[in-house]
Chain A
Amino acid sequence: QKEVEQDPGPLSVPEGAIVSLNCTYSNSAFQYFMWYRQYSRKGPELLMYTYSSGNKEDGRFTAQVDKSSKYISLFIRDSQPSDSATYLCAMSGGNYGQNFVFGPGTRLSVLP
């Protein structure tokens, strides 16, 4: 079993739909959780950052962390064709010398 699991997709939705992206993990030491968006041939771009359990909202994006279930989610409201990208979850524990563990990514296509 991989340390971080993520449905690779591809996921296709119509423009305006609500998108739900999810990751599960096995390491209970993870405390910091991030979502990155990666366009083709580009580096990952940080979208959301959360600490421990709870929700965080930023514009059309909402990140949720449920540490008891080892489950994190990213919701995208009113999805746009420009949201078409690969979404990577990432998480880390409590040590310096950053060693983030990334999910394999979910490829999302938002159709106009």
Chain B
Amino acid sequence: KAGVTQTPRYLIKTRGQQVTLSCSPISGHRSVSWYQQTPGQGLQFLFEYFSETQRNKGNFPGRFSGRQFSNSRSEMNVSTLELGDSALYLCASSLSGGPNEKLFFGSGTQLSVL
């Protein structure tokens, strides 16, 4: 079974630009979560999607948004990039997003904002 796939693997952008990251969950998984990982803050929850609906949201500004398609694939968008947005963005999937379900991560997209 293929794991969680994230593209692209690396991105370099400049301040003010926008970026879109893509995530394909494990086949059969319908819940997709996004996390930001930085050396200073660790792993922080961005949002979770299930059945094309955002079901849970972390404490990030509105510049961070996402969506989920009918095939459970998800995209995350960051607009008006800031230097502090440089981070590893991780996507994780689970069957239905239950708190008792195991969460499986992709390898992440390393975003550098110059």
User: Is the C-beta of B108 less than 8 angstroms from some C-beta in chain A?
Assistant: yes
User: What's the least CB distance linking B6 to chain A, in Å?
Assistant: 8
The answer to whether A99 and B45 touch (CB under 8 A), given A31-B99, A44-B90, is yes
User: What's the least CB distance linking B70 to chain A, in Å?
Assistant: 19
Interface positions of B (Cβ within 8 A of A): 4, 6, 31, 33, 35, 42-45, 48, 50, 55-56, 58, 90, 92, 94, 96-108, 110
Whether the pair A98, B103 counts as a contact (CB closer than 8 A) is yes
| A93 contact set on B, CB distance < 8 A | 99
| A51 contact set on B, CB distance < 8 A | 100
Whether the pair B100, A32 counts as a contact (CB closer than 8 A) is yes
For chains A and B in complex, what number of residue pairs have CB atoms within 8 angstroms?
A: 74
List 17 A–B pairs whose Cβ atoms lie within 8 Å, in order of A's numbering.
A31-B100, A32-B99, A36-B105, A41-B107, A43-B6, A43-B90, A43-B105, A44-B43, A46-B104, A92-B99, A94-B99, A95-B99, A96-B98, A96-B99, A98-B56, A102-B43, A103-B42
The answer to whether A98 and B101 touch (CB under 8 A), given A43-B90, A88-B43, A104-B42, is yes
Q: How far is B64's CA from A85's CA once the two chains are assembled, in angstroms?
A: 29
User: What's the least CB distance linking B59 to chain A, in Å?
Assistant: 11
Q: Which of A32, A45, A97 contacts B50 (CB 8 A)?
A: A97
| A31 contact set on B, CB distance < 8 A | 99-100
SS class, residues of chain B in contact with chain A: strand
SS class, residues of chain A in contact with chain B: loop
Whether the pair A99, B103 counts as a contact (CB closer than 8 A) is no
Whether the pair A42, B107 counts as a contact (CB closer than 8 A) is yes
Whether the pair B4, A41 counts as a contact (CB closer than 8 A) is no
Query: Closest residue of chain A to B58, judged by CB?
Result: A99
User: What's the least CB distance linking B61 to chain A, in Å?
Assistant: 18
Query: Closest residue of chain A to B91, judged by CB?
Result: A43
Q: Which of B33, B44, B107, B108 contacts A98 (CB 8 A)?
A: B33
